[in-house]
Amino acid sequence: MSASGWVPNRQQRRRRGAPSRGVACFASAFLPKRTGTAIFEGLAVATWKLKINSTGGLSDYRAVADLVSGISRLPDTAARASACAKSGTYNRSPCASSEPPRTAGRRCYALSLLRADLDSANSGAVRMIRTYSKSLLSPFIGVVQVAETPRARALSLDGKRWAIQYSLAGQSGFRKATPDAGPDPQFALVASIEGGEVQTRGLHPFLDPPDVKTQIDRLLEVVTLARLPFAAADRYQYWLLDGADETPLALLHSCVYQEEMAHSRPQPQWQAMPAAQLQVPAPAEEGATQYVPPVNYRLQKLVEERAGARPRAAWFDRSSSETDRFPHCLIREDWDSEQARQLCGRYIQRLAPRLLMLQALPRAVRQRLERAARPHVFDMDRFHLLYPEVVDGELLAAARVEARLRRAAGT
């Protein structure tokens, strides 16, 4: 029995609008009996402070919408919710506190019930859309912008064109047809957005057309009004290590949620963007009379040799402010030979319009990349919406003007 004396039974929970047992127990464990009417105002703020990482229990923001929709139907909670929001008493791990054992145990029990409810709840009750960005690897192609609901997501690499994908994981037909599907989510492309216009695609036979349309409309509103770029969320990064001193050599993979690390462990092998997608000019002294492999491939072999005969990689949590030990341009630039330094420098210079999408770059590095990107006006014009900071605004403006003039002239 909870502190408020009420936890709905199974029949009550089946009624439309009745909160789940986990939500009810959570509310009664954390929110004492106080009357009030500003439930949404209090909880909308309070539950944002409730994001508990994997050590505390909740892994993402899905809980926020479930709490707001469920706890808002419970009586006598608003005043305490507002007070908790202002004081920040929703701490990281409510089970690890100085409370009496009985109170702490009740809260842990409530959290366990809430976790179970979040895993099995009808996602239609969740109204929140989360927005974030993450690096697109491997190879590094850019920083993809993501707006997602529990059932669908919108992706964009330039902030102008969006792909809407719908999750197949929650469809009973898909689960029956693919019982051995892996842990990675399965998505079907259902629409694309460009210039505010939606182009729908043929639907997968397992999907529900009305719900797909609802998800498209919700995501369309978000991406149309969004302020780009979204904040980077891929704090967990998988780095190839230098064979000599085991320091980070090149970035291989990244993920948003800690639990993804368990099944996201690529081979410890760095890949450059293929020459067909990114043409890197070769050094001028190399003659054209004989074949020379592309700079992309040669740099990839140099990284492979530097990693050693038995390459190793490791996960790092990049939530801290420590950045000196990690290459700003996602690959080490301190090479022993002049030829290796030149190849690496040429690759980074050509990749500069995409590297400028990275967040938390030092100002000096960003300025260097802006100058390196200046000759590649079409790429700068394509990706500029996703640049979190611009050091030289005149340089970017000139590049965009040149891109439009050359595009109009067909050159």
Distance CA 148, CA 222 (A): 10
Neighbours of 374 (CB within 10 A): 17
The pLDDT tens digits for 316-344 are 999 865 667 899 999 999 999 999 999 99
pLDDT score recorded for residue 222: 93
Q: If you average pLDDT over every residue of the chain, what do you get?
A: 76
The pLDDT tens digits for 220-273 are 999 999 899 999 999 999 999 999 999 999 999 999 988 888 887 789 999 999
Burial class (CB in 10 A: 0-12, 13-18, 19+), 389: exposed
pLDDT score recorded for residue 290: 77
Would the pLDDT of 80 be above 80? no
Q: At what angle do helices 363-373 and 393-409 cross, to 10 degrees?
A: 20
200 residue type, one letter: T
Which residue shows structure tokens 């090149």? Answer: 250
The pLDDT tens digits for 172-203 are 444 444 444 444 458 899 999 998 899 998 88
pLDDT score recorded for residue 403: 97
| Band of residue 170 on the pLDDT scale cut at 50, 70, 90 | low
Distance CA 310, CA 315 (A): 17
Residue 224 CB partners (closer than 8 Å, separation 6+):
196
Alpha helices in 8-135 (DSSP H): 10-14, 21-30, 39-46, 62-71, 78-87, 101-120
Residue of 308, 291, 298, 293 whose CA lies nearest to 272: 298
pLDDT score recorded for residue 369: 98
pLDDT score recorded for residue 340: 96
Residue 318 CB partners (closer than 8 Å, separation 6+):
235, 236, 237, 326
Look at residue 144 and give its three-state secondary structure: strand
Strand order in the sheet with 236-241: 248-255, 236-241, 313-317
Would the pLDDT of 57 be above 80? no
Min mean pLDDT across 194-203, 212-221, 386-395 is at 194-203
pLDDT score recorded for residue 207: 85
Would the pLDDT of 155 be above 80? yes
Mean pLDDT over residues 19-31, rounded?
49
